[in-house]
Structure 1
Amino acid sequence: MTAGGSPLLEQLVGDFEAECADLDARVSPLDTGAWGTPTPATGWDIRDTINHLAFFDADALLAVTDPDAFSALVQRVTVAGNDYVEQRTLEGRSFDPAQVLGRWRTGRVALAAALRGMDPGARVPWFGPPMSPASFVTARLMEVWAHGQDVVDALGQQRPATSRLRAVADLGYRTRAFSYAVRGAVMPEAPVRLELAGPEGQTWTWGPPDAADVISGPALDFCLLVTQRRHRDDLALTVRGAAAQEWAAIAQAFAGPPGAGREPLS
């Protein structure tokens, strides 16, 4: 690890911290009973959600600070062949909400500090392909935002969109090929143009301007699509072209097996 970081990495780590702080402010006032509120993620309550973030932050810190030890962890998980996420979820239920919250707070602070000191050109191992530090922290930011949406929905709250969504949308666009690969399929060669309206009037675009396939609409809605927090029918996205339609049906920005997605709200 080399000290120094980069302006981009610093910005992304700051966005990660801000997203964590927003979610922390929502769960910290909850009484013990409210931590048991079911979320839209089947079988998970709010405590499970925060525990999930805490234990993956711990794994992320290991990947950043001791790549060899993390690779050994991945090998053990692979050999065991059990559901690692389910195992850690069950472990987390032995902790009371205050302990879960404390572990999440301590772990994310340590992770942010470690990420800030990384060489921007380094590669960080993960459960999927290795990533640059910038991509790695973006993935953690996406996880906090997506699971934060589960908590927001569980509590019946509203959460305003922020400019931090640009990083989530960027990850969503860059994981188009992964959305196919995780399903054992090959991404079509046809490029897809992404045209999003940011929450403060910005226009964010990816892909060639002359692409025949286009997805356009609010950045929030695209982020909800690629994190599978809303069904396509509940989003104000315009999808034009066969390749864009196909991708929109399977878009997945998070690691792991193909997600089941969510049922339409109405």
Structure 2
Amino acid sequence: MHDLTADLLAEYRQLAELCATLSSEQWRQRTDFYGWTPWDEVAHLLFFDETALLAVNDVAGFEADRAALAREFAAGTEISAIARRRFNHLEGDALLALWRQRYEALVAALAAMDAKARLPWYGPPMSARSFATARLMETWAHGQDIWDMLGREREPGPGLRHITHLGVTTYGWTFVNRKLAVPQPAPYVALQAPTGEDWAWGEPSTENFVRGPALDFALLVTQRRNRADTRLEWAGDAADQWTRLAQCFAGEAADGPSPGARSSRR
């Protein structure tokens, strides 16, 4: 857990440092992700980092909170509205300060856990390792929305390796979540890391594969880019279906951006 939580903390801190540079106007500028602002993005991360702390430290409290959230969803309330209601009294700088407190506490708690320890979440229980990886992916993806809004590129950090691995291991989830048959065999995945390393999963194949830059793959599976706007290559029916639908995060099946768009979610 030490290396994973160190990478998680680095991802949190990189985004927090970016947000610390935002002007009051930029905090309220719309991104392409559902039209959320950076304030909304951070409030969303803060909301679930607080519930993650409950999952780690107070299972009964988490279960009560999860049930309350389910009732809100059943009544048609969107998560963005729930987070706004909870943190609306905070301006950007104060929201950022509270988020920093929460994620530092969460990382410290996760670092002290056994990687195989089970934690409750919104779905089946997760291992502490998977839990930390999911928080890293979520932070990276919502951070990407802010980098895109600012028209800036970020330096890929060590967390990219965890996100690509999650993207590969959720191959089946992409289809199960849509109530579709899972194409078999899963494609061979061969990615080039920003460091020049080669990362690969599965049995090598020249007929059923996804290959290309690791960053582009991460953008695809987190639905921040359409496959047409990446440098990825793919071959075979399974790879074609997967790159069209890929979704590495939990929740209802979602559609990624259309070609030429950063996000189709508005």
Q: Please, what TM-score do these two structures have when normalized by structure 2?
A: 0.92
User: Larger deviation: 92-101 or 246-255?
Assistant: 92-101
2:40 pairs with 1:45: no
Gaps of 5+ in 2: 262-266
2:103 pairs with 1:114: no
Q: List per-residue Cα deviations over 1:20-65 (Å, max 9, x = no partner).
A: 1111111102221110111110220110011111111001111111
| Structure 2 letter corresponding to 1:236 | R
| Structure 1 letter corresponding to 2:84 | L
Q: List per-residue Cα deviations over 1:174-203 (Å, max 9, x = no partner).
A: 111111122122312322111000001000
What fraction of aligned residue pairs are identical, expressed as a percent?
40
2:140 pairs with 1:145: yes
- The Cα of 1:107 is off from its aligned counterpart by 0.6
CA contact (8 A) 1:125 1:131 kept: yes
The alignment partner of 1:171 has SS state of helix
User: Larger deviation: 122-131 or 108-117?
Assistant: 122-131
CA contact (8 A) 2:54 2:62 kept: yes
CA distance in 2, matches of 1:84, 1:66: 25
CA contact (8 A) 2:43 2:84 kept: no
- The Cα of 1:210 is off from its aligned counterpart by 4.2
| Structure 2 letter corresponding to 1:60 | A
User: Larger deviation: 156-165 or 78-87?
Assistant: 78-87
| Structure 2 letter corresponding to 1:85 | I
Gaps of 5+ in 1: 1-8
Closer/same/farther in 2, CA of residues 181 and 93 from structure 1, 3 Å limit: farther
> In the alignment, what sits opposite 1:104?
99
CA distance in 2, matches of 1:90, 1:26: 21
> In the alignment, what sits opposite 2:70?
78
Closer/same/farther in 2, CA of residues 225 and 93 from structure 1, 3 Å limit: same
| Structure 2 letter corresponding to 1:150 | D
2:151 pairs with 1:156: yes
The alignment partner of 1:265 has SS state of coil
> In the alignment, what sits opposite 2:18?
26
> In the alignment, what sits opposite 2:162?
167
> In the alignment, what sits opposite 2:81?
87
Closer/same/farther in 2, CA of residues 185 and 75 from structure 1, 3 Å limit: farther
| Structure 2 letter corresponding to 1:240 | A
Closer/same/farther in 2, CA of residues 50 and 220 from structure 1, 3 Å limit: same
| Structure 1 letter corresponding to 2:59 | P
- The Cα of 1:215 is off from its aligned counterpart by 0.3
> In the alignment, what sits opposite 2:2?
10
- The Cα of 1:157 is off from its aligned counterpart by 0.9
> In the alignment, what sits opposite 2:264?
none
Q: List per-residue Cα deviations over 1:139-190 (Å, max 9, x = no partner).
A: 1011111111100011111112233211000001111111112212231232
Mapping of residues 57-72 of structure 1, within 5 Å: 57-72=49-64
Q: Please, what TM-score do these two structures have when normalized by structure 1?
A: 0.92
| Structure 1 letter corresponding to 2:58 | D
CA distance in 1, matches of 2:207, 2:61: 46
CA distance in 1, matches of 2:107, 2:256: 30
Q: List per-residue Cα deviations over 1:227-250 (Å, max 9, x = no partner).
A: 000111100011110011111111
| Structure 1 letter corresponding to 2:197 | Q
| Structure 2 letter corresponding to 1:88 | I
The alignment partner of 2:42 has SS state of helix
CA distance in 1, matches of 2:189, 2:102: 35
Q: Which runs of 4+ in 1 moved over 3 A?
A: none
2:243 pairs with 1:254: no
Select 1:190's aligned residue among 171, 185, 192: 185
